[in-house]
Structure 1
Amino acid sequence: MDTEEKLDASNSRLVESSVKNVTTPPPRARSTLNQCLIVLIATCSMIINTANTTTISIALPTIEKEWNLEPARLQWAVSAYSLSAGCFYLVFGRCADVYGRKNTFCVGSLAAAVFTLACGFAPNIMALDILRGIQGVGASAIIPASIGILAQSFPPSRARSLAFATFAAGAPIGAVFGTAVGGVLIEFTAKSWRSTFYLLSGLTTLCLVGGFISFDKDIPSDEADKRIDWVGAFLITAGLVLVVFVLGDGEIAPKKWRTPYIIAFIILGVILIGAFIYWQIYLEKVQADPGAPYSKLTPPPLMKPSLWKRANGKFAAMMAVTFMTWCSFMSWTFWVQLYYQNYKHYTPMLVVVRLLPMFVSGMACNVFVGLMAARIPVVYLVSIGGFATAVSCLLFAVIDPNTTYWAFGFPASILTVLGADFVFSAGTLFISRIALPNEQSVAGALFSTMTQIGTAVGVTVTTVVSNTVSGRLRPGEDTIVTYHAAQWTGFAFGIIAAILGVVFFRGVGVVGVIANKHAFLKPAGRNDEEKTTDISATSTDTGASGSRFDVLEVIEMGV
């Protein structure tokens, strides 16, 4: 048996063992209106999620002046939201798969609406940071549930490609919406930056109502064991909180990175994350052993470590590409707004005008992905996306402040969203095909965790670099070099994403589905007959009801 056959056999055994006791209900016949409403509400949730980051970014200079703050004190107003959202995604992703995606979406939307409104009444920066952190917990329930709802509502088809592409469009639309509407409200309303939170709270409430009315009633999970791994939930949440807290606070601690609590927290955080990984490996091994006795102490793992090995490690590679792309994209967004407002001294509205090309480019990219996901290999989407975002950072890393906007600012605004759009669209389609039916929200949670942690790490690392360069400036020296340094760091993140895309996805085929053809990720070098293998003939029967889960789709991704 050659290497390829061994891989196929190994993957087949993995999938067949994973789908035991998993049943997939037949697709429900939907009206066009119902389909549109589901996609619209999920996409609006993504728009609001991204807008919650960009509205605060454009408000930072105004908050800085209102409360007379040092620039270093502003970072947590952005990072706290990404930190809490990223750290709780896995927990709520698992809750969505077990307790219901609609229930999780509605509870998360209610919490997000309440604490978004509370942010608008924050009396000081510390209160704002805390409320932003709690606000992010609501988002951590909404986004994984949305991904699971889309995967459940749209079986593999052109409709699914369009649904996920539209959902992905929420990221750039949200970035521009948050920037544009935030700029208008900050400049023209009496409540200034606080008005942005009032608006976003109202929009979140509308999504809550729309989801309650339009989403399907939750189908009970078919898993034999529906328990939640709360020990694992504590370990990963506490570990991520400590690590990302250190990344954000290291520069403003009393002795910076030498501060005792900074050193203690980073060590403890790494230990907790390591303990989580070991615990998940142990739980998956126990669950896979049919002879293991039942124990209340060994529930199903919060995250199956084997999920990262799916498709010969390409699942993990997609997570890495996503993380690096978001480090690049969000650090570009963060520093461009500070450059325009603090260095060029533009008003928020003038900043909005300069970032509007992002909206047009983002919409065009997602229409392109929705229509072409079944024709363009994934390697082109992820590598071109990472490279385009890197180039946008490069343009601001070498920008001459005296040069016209059309030379640097305009092309950078066009290119930067390619990474976010291409990687998000291709990535969500990719993981939705790899994950089993009862793993959709957890897989979506992992993907979303990479975007949020990437946001926090990207902003944090570029801030550290900028502050380091700033500390070496002589009195009166041009501060443009600090902005250049931050963008060079963003450029490095984007280039790494592009390289990872080429290395790991070269030879892998498309992520979309054409009409009624079931081929997916067609390996290079096979003829058309082999590429369009009839999956229905190799499906694994998974229940008495006659429901089936297509095993070959997962196996082919490992070739």
Structure 2
Amino acid sequence: MGAHERSTWESIAIIGTCTLSMMLTIASSSAASISLPTIGRDLDIVEYNLQWIVSAFNLSSGCLLLLMGRLADLYGRKHVFLLGVAFIGIFSLGAGFSQDEITLDVLRGIQGIGGAAVIPASLGILAHSFPPSRTRSIAFATFAAGAPMGGAIGNIIGGALTQLTKPTWRSSFFLIAGLSLAAFVGGLFSIDKDVAYEGIDRRVDWFGAFLVTAGLVFICFALSDGPIAPKEFKTGYIIALLVLGFVLLIVFLVWQGYLERLHEDADDTHNWWTPPPLMKVTVWTRSNWRMAVILWIAFFEWSSFQAWQFWAQLYYQNYLNLSPVLTMIRFIPMSVTGCICNIIVAIFVGRVPVVYLIVLGTTATACAGLLYAVIDTSSPYWAFGFPSSVISVFGADFVFASGTLFVAKISLLHEQSLTGALFQTMTQLGTSFGLAITTIIFNSTLKKESEKLGVAVNLSGTNAPPAAQLKAYRAAMWGAFAFGMFGALLAALFLRSVGIVGHSDEDERMLKEDEETSRDEKEKGVAEVDDAGSERTRAPRLSEDSKRGEKQTEQRVEE
């Protein structure tokens, strides 16, 4: 069924199902995060190991994105989507019954594979289901709204379930399992049957997949474990993993460049060991390198946003000694504003140059960190905490919605999930990087300020004087502020000529004309193939149509 033949209710079902998958992925992380103190007490987990309950999920979901995106493009986005939500649900149920730290960490790591599958598959499904139009803008904005809604489910409902139900933290995992079942049923019946792109070489670059996955795992593990290692980032195995991770990523890029050149220059026959690249290196150069700029802006925005959220939660629970429910209440404005932000994107992304949305958003997220960096603890929540929660999500929502729209606009039909996975990978790396750097800032400041007060802090820092803790929290928030402002600077310098990435009424008219022309060309092409009695000419024709569509969309972005 073509997008133009789909009813309004069918469109709503697809958008709703994909949005629910985004909510699941975010809620799986945020619900566990707000329950960490309770999980630690229940399972007797030391404080510095608690982070792995969250990090295990983020590690697998972030490092497998490129592979899962490629598999979704090649073998079916619907299949990968259903597999992903099944993984999230089944292993969330298992996590809810965990009785020890190791079991919970392992199950969370496996659960993250579902997150790696769901997000790129959803982006590809939306891009395929809705051609460039106002409906696509609404679909991507709604999908992005799943992030704050997922955060609300994790923080608000998860916090309430943890404090008010008998199973405490286990109830949050049971809730995620139930929502996963709903997403699976919705995907089964609402998402269109997968389209097989003819003329596409479906071999998977497993060597490249190993290189990029191993490299990302080593880097993310080192960034996550570095702050709690015996000598922090000076620890031998942390340095070794970082170096090895970066070496593997460099080898991956060289290998991908070699495969890309080989498939551009060679004949139709290739050796078994030279499949198409997992990721074309030239994808970063799309639209005069603006693709790379968008990806790095996503990196720094998530460095800022996730660092702000992490340290704000710890500030409330560890410094002010608030309960999970009282902490959760202070983040309610963030979820409400997140939904409003995506409504704004849906309305204005087809009318306002994207540079304004991204600069405004990244600056707002940076200022959320600034408010905590200068916070006066004697002031009420409404003076610093409330406005910070309100503006914190501007950047994440504006960058995600408009960024994924831009990426989809300059990507070929058969690589929509892969490029969506690349965008999401940069956000995951940004999260790890931001938390690692701000943790270094926090720990060094805490140690320095405690020594000034004559206190030698222990490994967990729990005996640090309150004055030293406050200065450490403020210092970490200055780091979050810097990341956000750097993203705003990149947007202001390099995205000024991008223009509007959404679609206006004029674009809708041009789209209809393009569809009519394309339909006539395809009908003529099929007739020629039938007359010749050969199927070999069909695949190249479809490939050329995709390339022509890419060229047209890049020209529109330039305009």
Q: Normalization by structure 2: what TM-score?
A: 0.89
Counterpart of 2:478, as a letter, is: W
Match of 1:428 among 389, 394, 404: 404
For 2:493 and 2:509, locate their aligned partners in 1 and report how far apart those are by CA, in whole Å.
23
Measure, in 2, the Cα distance between the counterparts of 1:281 and 1:358.
Answer: 42
Q: Do the aligned partners of 1:99 and 1:221 also contact (CA within 8 Å) in 2? A: no
1:233 positional shift: 0.3
Q: What residue number does 2:557 align with?
A: 557
1:481 alignment partner in structure 2: 471
Of 454, 458, 462 in structure 1, the residue corresponding to residue 434 of structure 2 is: 458
Amino acid at match of 2:553: E
Task: Determine which of 153, 171, 175 is the counterpart of 1:177.
Answer: 153
| Matched letter for residue 489 of structure 1 | G
The superposition leaves residues 422-449 of structure 1 with CA deviations (integer Å, 9 ceiling, x where unpaired) of: 0011011101101000110001111111
CA distance in 2, matches of 1:558, 1:296: 39
CA 1:538 to 1:217, structure 2 compared with 1: closer, same or farther past 3 Å? closer
Which residue is equivalent to 2:38? 62
Q: Select 1:86's aligned residue among 42, 50, 62.
A: 62
CA 500–84 in structure 1, closer or farther in 2 if over 3 Å, else same? same
Q: Distance in 1 between matches of 2:389 and 2:488?
A: 19
Three-state SS of the structure 2 residue aligned to 1:507 is coil
| 1:137 lines up with 2:113 in the alignment | yes
Counterpart residue number, 2:335: 359
Alignment identity in percent?
A: 45
- Asked whether the 8 Å contact 1:535–1:553 carries over to 2, the reply is no
Please name the residue that 1:270 is paired with: 246
Cα-Cα RMSD: 2.3
Which sections of structure 2, spanning at least 5 residues, go unmatched?
Answer: 456-464, 527-540
1:36 maps to 2:26:
no
**Do residues 347 (structure 1) and 337 (structure 2) align?**
no
Give distance in 2, aligned partners of 1:390 and 1:88.
Answer: 29
Distance 1:52 1:421 in 2: 19
Alignment partner of 1:222 is 2:198? yes
Deviations 1:200-255 (A, max 9, x none): 01111210111011111111122431111100000000000011111111222233
Q: How do 1:378-389 residues align onto structure 2 when only pairs under 5 Å count? A: 378-389=354-365
- Which TM-score applies when normalising by structure 1? 0.89
Paired residues, number:
524
Offset at 1:538? 10
Counterpart mapping for 1:71-82 below 5 A: 71-82=47-58
Q: Determine which of 295, 312, 324 is the counterpart of 2:288.
A: 312
Distance 1:200 1:412 in 2: 28
CA contact (8 A) 1:79 1:455 kept: no
* d(CA) in 2 for partners of 1:412, 1:491: 12
Query: Which deviates more, 166-175 or 445-454?
Result: 445-454
CA distance in 2 between partners of 1:247 and 1:375 (Å): 40
Which residue number corresponds to residue 485 of structure 2? 495
Task: Give the aligned partner of residue 102 of structure 2.
Answer: 126
Corresponding residue to 2:218 among 242, 246, 249 = 242
Distance 1:125 1:397 in 2: 34
Q: Distance in 1 between matches of 2:57 and 2:522?
A: 40
- Contact 1:519–1:553 under 8 Å retained in 2: no
The alpha-carbon deviation at position 499 of structure 1 amounts to 0.7
User: SS at the partner of 2:414?
Assistant: helix
CA distance in 1, matches of 2:437, 2:101: 21
Structure-2 change in CA distance of 1:350 and 1:328 (3 Å): same
3-state secondary structure, aligned to 1:86: helix
What secondary structure sits across from 2:35 in the alignment?
Answer: helix
**1:188, distance to aligned residue in structure 2 (A):** 0.3
Residue type of the partner of 2:111? Q
Alpha-carbon spacing, 1:103–1:180, altered in 2? closer, same or farther (3 Å) = same
Asked if 1 retains the 8 angstrom alpha-carbon contact of 2:303 and 2:430, the reply is yes
Separation of aligned partners in 2, 1:182 and 1:509: 40
- 2: distance between equivalents of 1:256 and 1:204? 37
Larger helix proportion of the pair: 2
Q: Where does residue 177 of structure 2 map in the other structure?
A: 201
Per the alignment, residue 261 of structure 1 pairs with 237
Identify which of 507, 510, 520 aligns with 1:517. Answer: 507
Matched, 1:506 2:482: no
Which of 372, 382, 391 is the aligned partner of 1:415? 391
Q: CA deviation at 1:458?
A: 2.0
Please give the secondary structure, in 2, of the residue aligned with 1:345: coil
- Aligned-partner residue type, residue 360 of structure 1: V
- State the 1:280 CA deviation: 0.3
CA contact (8 A) 1:109 1:142 kept: yes
Q: Where do 5+ consecutive residues of structure 1 fail to align? A: 1-24, 521-531
Matched AA of 1:294: H
Write the distance in 2 (CA, Å) between the matches of 1:71 and 1:502: 41
Greater length-normalized contact order (CA 8 Å, ≥ 6 residues apart):
1
Whole-Å Cα distance in 2 between the matches of residues 440 and 320 of structure 1? 19
Provide the rounded CA distance (Å) in 1 between the counterparts of 2:321 and 2:200: 60
More divergent stretch after superposition (532-541 vs 92-101): 532-541
> Is the CA contact (8 Å cut-off) linking 1:85 and 1:140 kept in structure 2?
yes
Q: Which SS does the other structure have where 1:250 is aligned?
A: helix
CA deviation after TM superposition for structure 1 residue 126, in Å: 3.2
Larger mean CA deviation between 32-41 and 55-64 belongs to 55-64
